[in-house]
Chains A and B, each alone.
Chain A
Amino acid sequence: DAKTTQPNSMESNEEEPVHLPCNHSTISGTDYIHWYRQLPSQGPEYVIHGLTSNVNNRMASLAIAEDRKSSTLILHRATLRDAAVYYCILRDQGGSEKLVFGKGTKLTVNP
């Protein structure tokens, strides 16, 4: 599985937008970009995934660069409940089922 690079930590204020970056310069054409988040003392939670086009769901938006070498998870209005570790993961469409987690980005949301 191709590797992703994320900042170790980020901070945001409540009710402001948050942009969480992820670099994946070695992404292959069949790799999907997945985002999960993990709240304290809980298991990871699926957030969103995409291949080439930008994606929106009730939790977040995923903006994918045209060359696919980077992507950004966007939380439109951060709440205190969004404080978590966010993981960016590549999954090959035809490859292993397993998720390969890095250390992720720890997001702190200030009231």
Chain B
Amino acid sequence: GAGVSQTPSNKVTEKGKYVELRCDPISGHTALYWYRQSLGQGPEFLIYFQGTGAADDSGLPNDRFFAVRPEGSVSTLKIQRTERGDSAVYLCASSQSSQVGPQHFGDGTRLSIL
């Protein structure tokens, strides 16, 4: 299928380490979003890209979190000096950049910080 692909599906690492999470959006979708979801909660917005630029990064919790989308397609979410509280499912979505159009989600990366 040509859905949103996220890798890895699971990531376990130690506190203090650096992690990168990858998202391959649907081909041709110019808008890309990152969310994270803690157990029992709805997804929480992190950052939104329109093309290569971050149009809204108001959801990034602190400066340990950073995301890039250098060619306007694949995006990488980077977390430095990980903490146990960063453990969550990180979800990526893409859309055709309509403000009322649907967002298409991947199945997420489950990040566990030991």
Contacts and interface: CB of A to CB of B under 8 A. Distances in A.
Interface of A: 32, 34, 41-46, 49, 85, 87, 91-104
A46 B41 CA distance: 18
Interface in B33-68: 33, 35, 40-45, 48, 50, 55-56, 59
A46 B107 contact: no
18 contacts: A34-B100, A41-B107, A42-B107, A43-B4, A43-B93, A43-B105, A44-B91, A46-B103, A85-B42, A91-B99, A95-B99, A96-B56, A98-B33, A99-B35, A99-B43, A99-B103, A101-B35, A101-B43
A28 B63 CA distance: 34
A66 to B, nearest CB: 21
A104 B93 CA distance: 19
B111 interface: no
A16 to B, nearest CB: 26
Given A97-B48, A97-B55, A101-B43, A45 B105 contact: yes
A42 B108 CA distance: 7
Nearest to B49: A97
Given A46-B103, A97-B50, 17 more contacts: A34-B102, A43-B4, A43-B106, A43-B107, A44-B105, A85-B42, A87-B42, A91-B100, A93-B100, A94-B99, A97-B31, A97-B33, A97-B56, A101-B42, A101-B44, A103-B42, A104-B42
Given A44-B91, A93-B99, A93-B100, A100 B106 contact: no
Contacts of A103: 40-42
Interface in B56-114: 56, 59, 91, 93, 95, 99-100, 102-108
B100 A49 contact: yes
